[in-house]
Structure 1
Amino acid sequence: MLREIDEVVVFALDALSFSYFMEAVHPFLHREDKMFLGSLTSVFPATTSTAWTSMLTGKPPWEHGVYGTSFLLEGSGGNYVWLNDSLSLGKERVVLKYPSDRIRLNLSDASTLFQILSRDGVNVSYLGSHGLTAPNRLNDELTAGAVQVRVCPDPEVKLRLHEYLDFFLKKSGELLAAGGGKRLVWNYVDTDEYIHRYGYKMLTRAFPWEKLFGFWRREKRPGRAFILVSDHGQVPQRPGTFNFLRETETNPLFRYNTGGAGRVLYFYPAPDKAEEAASWLRSSIGDTGILLKKHQLVEYGLFSHSPIAFDRVGELVAIGKTDRFPSAGPAFISEHGSITEGEMFVPLLLFP
């Protein structure tokens, strides 16, 4: 595409489902707008860390090894949590010593999209950041090859959506005005947290969609394109009090804390406790989800054969089916991670 288009501005909005986009966002587009609109299928589990790693490296999860928000980190004796770069050890949380510990999350050795474009002479800027810590291990792996501009250090700015979007529009406009040849401006707009807390209905009211698309129309030039894409969707859930993460912290049936992502949970039974652990899990989950053995993820086509670092995934895996599934975020009104249509299908909008 860059042979015909010199400048591309991407708005990578986290957690937009295709059905939500068509119902609530599409009406903000004008009939005369020339565009391409389609849907993409997310990965399993349908979560931020796994999906963006796949999108930015071109590798599926079983080739890069980033299997969710939290997973067993080989040799550490604990479950890794990428958001704050820590290990979950029973009731303890131990922050790792990044970057001196040399631990890698993405094991694929694939170049990022940004590294490939940079080598071809494209000026690559990445606006926004992943994770709650700076620096953050996954953020740095995913943004390799780009010049990163972080948002305001106040994490709550993500909940003030007009102010949040203004940052991206202002910085994108400045970069486009600077000229300088071929350019990619990648805006990572983390709407995931807002949707978790308030749902899609509130997002429609609070997010300034007209301002976003108005910026596109004002900045439209020959040789310049705008793209909107997302990584996964979310589905409504009924908030509850039962929390597998808390319940397994000291449960003797399990070696390690619960991992996974939202509506997909990884469990690591203690030696000789697998059947007893599975029985307890089935009783706890009921008809809200299904419980699989790890090898069944391959048998059912969710992962390919010979996944890399498969020890990161628990021997038992629970996948949510209904809105009552006891997810990793029981207080949220929306969640993701599982394989329903609302979680797996996301929009791709091209505005050339």
Structure 2
Amino acid sequence: MLVLGIESSCDETGVALYDTDQGLLAHRLYTQMELHALYGGVVPELASRDHIRKLSPLILETLQAGGKQTRDLEGIAYTAGPGLIGALLAGASVARSLAYALKIPAIGVHHMEGHLLAPMLEEDKPQFPFICLLISGGHSMLIRVDGIGRYKLLGDTLDDAAGEAFDKTAKLLDLGYPGGPKVSQLALRGNSERYKFPRPMVDRPGLDMSFSGLKTYTLNTWQAALADDDDTEQTKADICRAFELAVADTLTIKCKRALEQEGLNRLVVSGGVSANREIRSKLDSLMKKRRGEVFYPRLEFCTDNGAMIAYAGAQRLLAGQHNNLNFATTPRWSLEELEPIA
């Protein structure tokens, strides 16, 4: 089954062609990074307009790269939520219209299910069941995965997600947008011994997470440095290093607890923040000590992309699931509400 995948939940327009027999044939991604950098963050209305502008050319480009034409398509998958409502509607409208014109089924995909299943695009695929750590700009979750659509939420973020905390830390240090990669880049030059940041919520039971307090601790540390006229690039680097280590340690401790609680030894890590080198290093060490397995998507599929949506949608379309013409997008949507695939 040849499926076109469309991702437009936030500030990146992703399109991909996935064949259930041959695998991923082609994918293209357009990022709005430069557009939103002017404002220090994503402007929803501008994001929606840019998706409208780029979707049709990207679809044509992806089809050409995969050696296919629109008449070859057998299904279309699009991100239906969570995300920015205008951005979601842009992608959903194009997907539904194209599916109607071609008389083929279409299905709305949960954005986080796309991230969760992204490692399935690799040759070395994780086997069910496993624990998944989903870490992105808006989400930090631990999930037990027993199959596609069979999800049990074990832990969630109570306030700022890990990616959001990275972005806010970058903003208070005036590092620019997008913040997460800039914090990680500067942290490489940081002295890990200078500052010791707290590891939030690791001294209490449970798998929920909270990063707003860590962000506040970072702010207080920076304000103290400013008061001492110590606002150098090295001080910023040292703060970034301490912040990144605190996040990585916290996530590692929570993953260890989840694996022990569920009696599993297979971990999947996905979402935009899963590209972070320090987090990967800590989790690699954890799973090596446990003699377990850890899986990541390739770096280009950590952030939002059409390939993960095409894959997730293809599995559901193959199972006979699809949406009717009265489509709807869902800005807030729990993974546990998804229908399982038998």
Establish whether TM, by shorter chain, passes 0.5. no
TM range (shorter): 0.3 to 0.5
| Higher helix residue share | 2
TM-score (structure 1 length as normaliser): 0.34
